Structure 1
Amino acid sequence: MSDYLWFEGIPFPGVGTDKGILEEIGDKFVVRDEDTIILTYPKSGTNWMIEIVCLIQTKGNPQWIQSEPIWKRSPWVESEDGYQTLINQEGPRLISSHLPFHLFPKSFFSSKAKMIYVIRNPRDVLVSGYFFFHKTNLVKNPGSLIKYFEWFLKGNVIYGSWFEHTRAWLSMRERDNFLLLSYEDLKQDTRGTIEKICDFLGKKLEKDELDLVLKYSSFQVMKENKMSNLSIVPEDVITNGLKLMRKGTTGDWKNHFTVAQAEAFDKVFQEKMIGFPRELFPWQ
């Protein structure tokens, strides 16, 4: 088990994160106009989105996603390995990140780079995060869902408060180079959402190519793909044979929250997200 690495009041993974990189990333990392960025709060469908975008780029050909680990196809800009890979990579880059708005490379905000931001019902994010992180060496182990629930509402979890992270990034939603998607819409209308991503990225797929994207980015196929399910990550990083894919569903929080927890969460959500139109949150 690893404790957090704290930076500017936000807890980061204790493994694979370097304070020096976090200090220089905002001012020194240069986002290029041709880059594509996938940004999320943890456990919001990040790897599913990476898989979809990789398959869109190959017109549904699965060779790339089956031969190269997901973190190499779309390196994490805030990780030690990802940062070094990206600064040395030529041509258009596919970049992943969980960084909060104020720590993201400033060069992005004056660039033409395209960002896909995926949000998910924070109740499901909480439950998914608990079941994932308590089996890893990446973060401090809460021991129980009750404790993790308390930490989540206070923002004392990896990458800080969901509410602050989401509020800040939603301020970009009217930008032409920013596509806001929800995990729930992606689950309910996968084909339509993938078509929306293609339009945003300027990619035209034929029907059979789109069918291949749907097939190879499906939950079951991703779960069996060793390059996508984290099963090849060394045991000292992730324990207990954990795989990335657990359920891939919506509404699982209802199986775990007590009535009191549901009411407490609703109260905090209403307070923190006041002022945003309800249609931004399709789970409401």
Structure 2
Amino acid sequence: MSGSEDPKQTNREKFQAEMQRTLEKAKTMTPEELKFSYKGILYPSILCSEATFQAMEGFEAREDDVLIITYPKCGTNWAIKILHQMLFELHNKEPTIDQAMFEFGKPEKYKYLNEQPSPRVISSHLTHENISKSLFEKKTKILIILRNPKDAAVSYYHFSNNNPVLPSYSSWDAFFKDFITGDVIYGSYFDYALGWEKYLDGGNVLLLTFEDMKTDLIAELKKICDFYGFSLTDEQLQKVQENTTFQSMKDKSSESHGNLGNVFFRKGEIGDWKSLFTEEQSKELDAKFEKHLAGTKFGEKINYPKYCTY
């Protein structure tokens, strides 16, 4: 590397080049080939593998790891950006690993992760059963981001149809049928939430929502700082906010996510579900929510009456 090269730029270019190769490969695969089942849950076959899941068992968690848990399209990249930005303000620490999910990649990635300096930002869509047990043994602090299921479903539909690594759908109706039954990549939204709910009383989980982050980002950033013990000044917190609004991230998405920038950062709105849901579908999901999440802490946090009714 010559002295004029920016390591940060070089790493980003390598990541984007790898992403482009993955996309080209995905375009040659059928919808069925793009998914595989592991322990009863569907995963993107081009990004995950049984060998990688097995290698994950050798991952060594640390108490100061930052674990971000989200169901797909509930604020994953947003949370990752926030935590990286906070660590940059605190320690001038650039991200040392790409922003791919914990479960993505080849089996040797965990050896690489084990060599990375603390604190490490780790993000995952995995259920509590399938993620590395080491994270629980070390009592790693977990930031869980929720999003109301109707907006999550609509966002997931558009994401699936615009991201070549995921199976596409002929219509919203076809996607909704799979979403409501949990026959989508990463499985049931409701089972996922219920599984992670078990860990809320352990003292090491912070539960936030996409909607609260959209409504008052600075207040939610302060909660994250308090949770992780980050001593950011008001000026630093303001910088984090400016760099992590949805619009700011969307404006820079071509730098962070290449050609898929607009796929990862589409609208980021509350209430977009009304653009696709029929009245019958809305009632069907209402009943599903009532059966599985009503009366739970997750269900209360989502504020379903406010965000999921006409």
Specify whether residues 251 and 145 from structure 1 end up closer, same or farther in structure 2 by C-alpha distance, changes over 3 A only.
same
Q: Using the alignment, how far apart are the partners of 1:91 and 1:219 within structure 2? A: 27
Deviation string 1:186-220 (CA, Å, 9 cap, x unpaired) is 11111100000000110111111111111110112
Q: Greater shift after overlay, 271-280 or 95-104?
A: 271-280
The alpha-carbon deviation at position 85 of structure 1 amounts to 3.5
TM-score (norm 2): 0.81
Secondary structure at the aligned position of 1:167 is classed as helix
Structure with max Cα Rg = 2
Deviation string 1:58-81 (CA, Å, 9 cap, x unpaired) is 22899947xx8xxx3544221115
Equivalent in the alignment of 1:247: 267
Equivalent in the alignment of 1:163: 190
1:77 partnered with 2:102: yes
Q: 2:301 aligns with which of 263, 280, 284?
A: 280
Q: Using the alignment, how far apart are the partners of 1:257 and 1:267 within structure 2? A: 14
- Confirm or deny: 8 A CA contact 1:6 1:12 kept in the other structure: yes
Identity %: 32
Q: Using the alignment, how far apart are the partners of 1:87 and 1:33 within structure 2? A: 13
Q: Using the alignment, how far apart are the partners of 1:83 and 1:11 within structure 2? A: 22
Matched to 1:256, the amino acid is L
Q: Using the alignment, how far apart are the partners of 1:60 and 1:192 within structure 2? A: 19
Equivalent in the alignment of 2:83: 53
Q: 1:223 aligns with which of 245, 250, 256?
A: 250
- Confirm or deny: 8 A CA contact 1:135 1:242 kept in the other structure: no
Q: Using the alignment, how far apart are the partners of 1:126 and 1:150 within structure 2? A: 11
Secondary structure at the aligned position of 1:58 is classed as helix
Equivalent in the alignment of 1:185: 212
TM-score (norm 1): 0.88
- Confirm or deny: 8 A CA contact 1:185 1:282 kept in the other structure: no
Q: Using the alignment, how far apart are the partners of 2:206 and 2:247 within structure 1? A: 26
Specify whether residues 31 and 60 from structure 1 end up closer, same or farther in structure 2 by C-alpha distance, changes over 3 A only.
closer
In terms of fraction of residues, the more helix-rich structure is 2
Matched to 1:36, the amino acid is V
Structure 1's consecutive aligned runs of 4 or more residues displaced over 6 angstroms after TM superposition are 60-63
Q: Using the alignment, how far apart are the partners of 2:186 and 2:302 within structure 1? A: 21
- Size of the aligned set, in residue pairs, is 271
1:83-162 paired onto structure 2 within 5 Å: 83=110, 85-162=112-189
Query: Which gives a bigger RCO, structure 1 or 2 (Cα 8 Å, sep 6+)?
Result: 1
